[in-house]
Amino acid sequence: MFPSSAALLATLALVLPSAAAPASHPEMKVTDADRQHWAFLPLRKVMVPTAQDSAWARTPLDQFIRLAQEEKGLLPSAMADSRTLVRRIYFDLVGLPPTPEEFKKWSGRLTNSRDAWSELVEELLASPHYGERWARHWLDVARYADSNGMEGDDDRPNAYHYRDFVISALNEDMPCDQFMRWQLAGDEIAPDKPEAIAATGFIVAGTSTIVTIPMEEEKQRIRANELDDMVSTTGQAMLGLTLACARCHDHKYDPLPTRDYYRLMSIFNSGDRCDVPMAPPAQVREHAEAVARWQQQPADASRGEKPSDLPATFAFADFAPEPRESWLFERGDFMSRKEKLEMGFLTVLMTGKTAGQYWQTARDTKLRDDTTQQRRALAGWMTDLEDGAGRLLARVMVNRVWQHHFGEGIVRTVSDFGRRGEPPTHPEMLEWLTNEFIRSGWSVKHLHRLILKSAVYQQTSLHDERKAAIDPENRLLWRRRPLRLESEILRDSMLAAAGTLNPAMFGPSFKPPIPAEALQARNVKNPYPGDAGDSANTRRRTIYMFHKRVIQYPLMQAFDAPDAQQSCGRRMNTTVAPQALAILNDPFVRLRAGELATSLLVTAGPNPQQQIRDSFQRCLNRDPMPEELAAATEFLAAQIATHEKRDAGQNAPLLALTDFCQSLLGLNEFLYID
Amino acid sequence: MSDKPSTPSLRATDAGGPFSRRHFLWNSGGGLGAIALAWMMNRESAMAAHAKGFTIGQPHFRPRANRVVQVFCAGGVSHLETFDYKPELEKMHGRSLEGKGENLGFFGQPGTLMKSLYDFKQHGQSGLRISSLLPHLAGCVDDLCFIHSMFAKSNNHTPAAFQMNSGFTQNGFPCMGAWLSYGLGTENENLPAFVVLPDARGLPAGGSINWTSGFLPANHQGVAFRTQSAEPVPDLLTPPEIPSAMRAADMDLLAAMNLDFARAHPADGAFAARLRSYELAARMQSSIPEATNLSSEPESIKQLYGLDEPANKGFGKNCLMARRLLERGVRFVQILNGGSFGSPRTNWDGHENVKENHDTQAATMDKPVAALLQDLKQRGMLEDTLFIWSTEFGRSPLTQGVGSLGRDHHPSVFTCFLAGAGVTPGCSYGSSDEIGYKVGEKMVTIPDFHATILHLLGLDHEQLTFYHNGINRRLTNVEGQVIHGILS
A36 pLDDT above the threshold of 70: yes
Single out the residue in A545, A576, A607 at which a domain terminates.
A576
Q: Left if phi > 0, otherwise alpha if psi is -120 to 50, otherwise beta: which for A605? A: left
With CB atoms and an 8 Å threshold, state whether A659 touches B249. Answer: yes
Average pLDDT over residues A393-414: 95
Q: Which helix (H) or strand (E) holds A109?
A: helix A100-112
Distance from the B234 Cα atom to the nearest Cα atom in chain A, whole angstroms: 7
Q: Is residue B325 part of a domain?
A: yes
CA distance A636 to A607: 11
Question: What mean pLDDT value characterizes chain B?
Answer: 82
Q: Which residue of A has its CA nearest to B11?
A: A625
**CA-CA distance, A39 to A396, in Å (whole number)?**
9
Q: Note whether residue A18 is domain-resident.
A: no
CB distance B109 to B400 below 8 Å: yes
Q: For B12-38, how does the pLDDT look when each residue is reduced to its tens digit (9 = 90+)?
A: 223 333 333 333 232 223 333 333 343
Residue in A358, A365, A411, A413 with CA at minimum distance from that of residue A389: A358
Note if the bond before B344 is cis, omega within 30 degrees.
yes
Model confidence pLDDT, tens digit, residues A515-536: 665 554 444 567 777 777 899 9
**Band of pLDDT at residue A215, cut at 50, 70 and 90:** low
pLDDT at residue B314 in the model: 85
Contacts of A522 in chain B (CB under 8 A): 202
| % of chain A beyond a pLDDT of 70 | 92
- Identify the pLDDT of residue B170: 64
List A523's β-bridge partners, or say none: none
What is the pLDDT at residue A381?
97
- The C-alpha atoms of residue A349 and residue A345 are separated, in whole angstroms, by 8
To test the contact with chain A by mutation, choose from B194, B276, B343 the residue with the greatest count of A C-beta atoms within 10 A, namely B343
Q: Which of A237-241, B160-164, B267-271 has the lowest mean pLDDT?
A: B267-271
Q: DSSP string covering A222-236, please?
A: HHHHHHHHHHHHHHH
Pair (A514, A567) in one structural domain: yes
pLDDT confidence band for A88 (50 / 70 / 90) = very high
Same domain? A609 vs A551: no
Tell me, what amino acid is at B145?
Answer: C
Considering only CB atoms, which chain A residues are within 8 Å of B159? none
* Contact indicator for B412, B74 with CB cutoff of 8 Å: no
Out of A83, A515, A628, the one facing B6 most closely (by C-beta) is: A83
pLDDT of residue A586: 86
Axis-axis angle for helices A577-585, A587-604 (nearest 10): 50
Helices A100-112 and A116-125: angle between axes, nearest 10 degrees: 150
Q: Is residue B251 part of a domain?
A: no
What single string gives the DSSP state of each residue in A358-372? Answer: HHHHHHHT-S-SSS-
Single-letter code of the amino acid located at A117: W
Note the pLDDT of residue B17: 34
Chains A and B: how many Cβ contacts under 8 Å? 223
Residue B190 has φ and ψ, to the nearest 5°, of -90, -5
- Quote the distance between the C-alpha of residue B205 and its chain's center: 14
Contacts of A112 in chain B (CB under 8 A): 1
Please report whether residue A204 resides in a domain: no
Between B66-80, B195-209, B432-446, the lowest mean confidence (pLDDT) is in B195-209
Residue type, B347: N
Among B107, B221, B236, select the one facing A574 at the smallest CB separation.
Answer: B221
Out of A555, A576, A597, pick the residue that ends a domain: A576
Contact A151/B343, CB-based, under 8 Å?
yes
Count: domains in chain B:
1
pLDDT tens digits for A319-369? 999 999 998 888 777 778 888 899 999 999 999 899 999 999 999 999 999
Q: Which of A10, A585, A643 is the closest to B238 by Cβ?
A: A585
Statement: residue A446 has pLDDT above 90: yes
Whether ipTM tops 0.85, in short, is no
- Distance in angstroms (rounded) separating the CA atoms of residues B107 and B400: 8
B219-245 confidence digits (pLDDT tens): 688 888 888 777 787 778 777 777 777
Interface test with A, best of B2, B3, B211, B225 (most A CBs within 10 A): B3
Does the structure show a pLDDT above 90 at B271?
Answer: no
Average pLDDT over residues A403-429: 92
Give the bridge partners for B471, in sequence order.
B468
Same domain, yes or no: A572 and A517: yes
Question: A599 and A572 share a domain?
Answer: no
More confident residue, B263 or A195: A195
- Put simply, the answer to whether B352 touches A1 (Cβ < 8 Å) is yes
Find which of A2, A11, A81, A113 to mutate to test the B interface (most B CBs within 10 Å of its CB): A81
Q: Write down the pLDDT at residue B266.
A: 67
State whether A594 and A537 are in the same domain.
no
**Sign of the dihedral through C-alpha A155, A157, A162, A168:** positive
The phi, psi pair for A399, rounded to 5°, reads -65, -40
Q: How many residues appear in chain A?
A: 674
Distance CA A455, CA A58 (A): 6
Within a domain: A253: no
CB atoms within 10 A of CB A537: 17
What single-letter amino acid sits at B45?
S
**Cβ neighbours of A335 in B, within 8 Å:** 107-109
Distance CA B50, CA B47 (A): 7
Mean pLDDT for all residues in chain A: 88
User: Cα separations (Å) of A142 from A162, A199, A667, B6, B305?
Assistant: 10, 11, 32, 40, 45
Helix%, strand%, coil% for chain B, nearest 5: 35, 15, 45
Domain-embedded: residue A102: no
Give pLDDT, residue A83: 94
Q: For an interface test with B, which of A517, A589, A647 has the most B Cβ atoms less than 10 Å from its Cβ?
A: A517
A464 φ, ψ (degrees, to nearest 5): -145, 115
Nearest CA in chain B to A620: B8
Name residue A275's beta-bridge partners: A314
Looking at residue B183, its amino acid is: G
- Residue B151: enclosing H or E segment and its boundaries? strand B144-151
pLDDT for residue A313 is more than 60: yes
Rounded to a whole number, what is the distance in Å from the CA of A522 to chain B's nearest CA?
7
> Would you say residue A563 lies in a domain?
yes
Question: Does a structural domain hold residue B75?
Answer: yes
* Total domains, chain A: 2
What is the number of residues in chain B? 488
The answer, yes or no, to whether residue A219 has pLDDT greater than 90, is no
Separation in Å, CA of A175 to nearest CA in chain B: 33
* Most confident of the ranges A44-58, A128-142, B155-169: A128-142
Phi-psi category of residue B430: left, alpha or beta, with phi > 0 → left and psi -120 to 50 → alpha:
left
The enclosing domain of B190 has a CATH number of 3.40.720.10
Instruction: Work out the average pLDDT over A214-223.
Output: 70
Give B105 to chain A, closest Cα distance, Å: 10
Give the structural domain span for A632.
587-673
pLDDT digits (tens, 9 = 90+) for B249-262: 777 888 777 777 77
- Measured CA to CA in angstroms, residue B294 lies from B47, B321, B323 at distances of 40, 7, 11
**How many angstroms separate the CA atoms of A199 and A259, rounded?**
28
Give the chain B residue whose CA is nearest to the CA of A412.
Answer: B469
Would B284 be classed as within a structural domain? no
- In this prediction, residue A516 carries a pLDDT of 63
Q: pLDDT at position A303, please?
A: 81
**DSSP summary character for residue A159:** T
Write the DSSP string, B51-118: STT--TTS-SS--S-SEEEEEEETT---STTTT---HHHHHTTTPPP-SS-S---SS--EEEE---SS
Residues in A touching B186 (Cβ below 8 Å): none
Q: Which residue of A has its CA nearest to B266?
A: A463
A323 in Cβ contact with A343 (< 8 Å) = yes
Asked, for residue A361, whether it belongs to a domain, the answer is no
Given its phi and psi angles, is residue B5 left (phi above 0), alpha (psi -120 to 50 degrees) or beta? beta
pLDDT number for residue B218? 64
Q: How far apart are CA A458 and CA A554, in angstroms?
A: 34
Q: Do the chains contact at A576 and B262, CB–CB below 8 Å?
A: no
User: For residue B50, is it within any domain?
Assistant: no
- Check residue B277 and give its pLDDT: 76
The whole-number average pLDDT for the span A166-183 is 98
Range of the domain at B319: 57-235+298-486
Q: Do B246 and A643 touch (CB under 8 A)?
A: yes
Whether B262 and A668 lie within 8 Å, measured CB to CB: yes
Q: Within a domain: residue B290?
A: no
| CB pair distance less than 8 Å for A672 and B271 | yes
Whether A571 and A595 share a structural domain: no
Evaluate whether A205 touches A547 at the Cβ level (below 8 Å): no
Angle in degrees, 0-180, between the axes of helices B244-264 and A577-585, rounded to the nearest 10: 130
Closest listed residue to residue B224, CA positions, set B263, B204, B251, B198: B198
Is A555 contained in some domain?
yes
pLDDT over 90 (residue B473): no
Q: Indicate if A525 and A604 belong to the same structural domain.
A: no
In a domain, A161, yes or no: no
Q: Which amino acid is at A577?
A: A
Q: Own/partner pairs for A68-75, CB < 8 Å, 24+ apart?
A: A68/A425, A68/A426, A68/A476, A69/A476, A69/A477, A69/A478, A72/A470, A72/A471, A72/A476, A73/A470, A74/A467, A74/A470, A74/A471, A74/A476, A74/A478, A75/A467, A75/A478
Q: Which of A210, A125, A209, A204 is nearest to A162 (CA)?
A: A204
**CA dist A276 → A158, A171, A314, A652 (Å):** 9, 24, 6, 55
Average pLDDT over residues B325-337: 95
Quick check: B202 and A521 CB within 8 A?
A: yes
Choose among A113, A151, A642: nearest Cβ to B340.
A151
Note the pLDDT of residue A45.
94
For residues B54 and A424, the model is more confident at A424
**Res A480 pLDDT > 50:** yes
Q: Give dist(CA B178, CA B193) in Å, integer.
A: 8
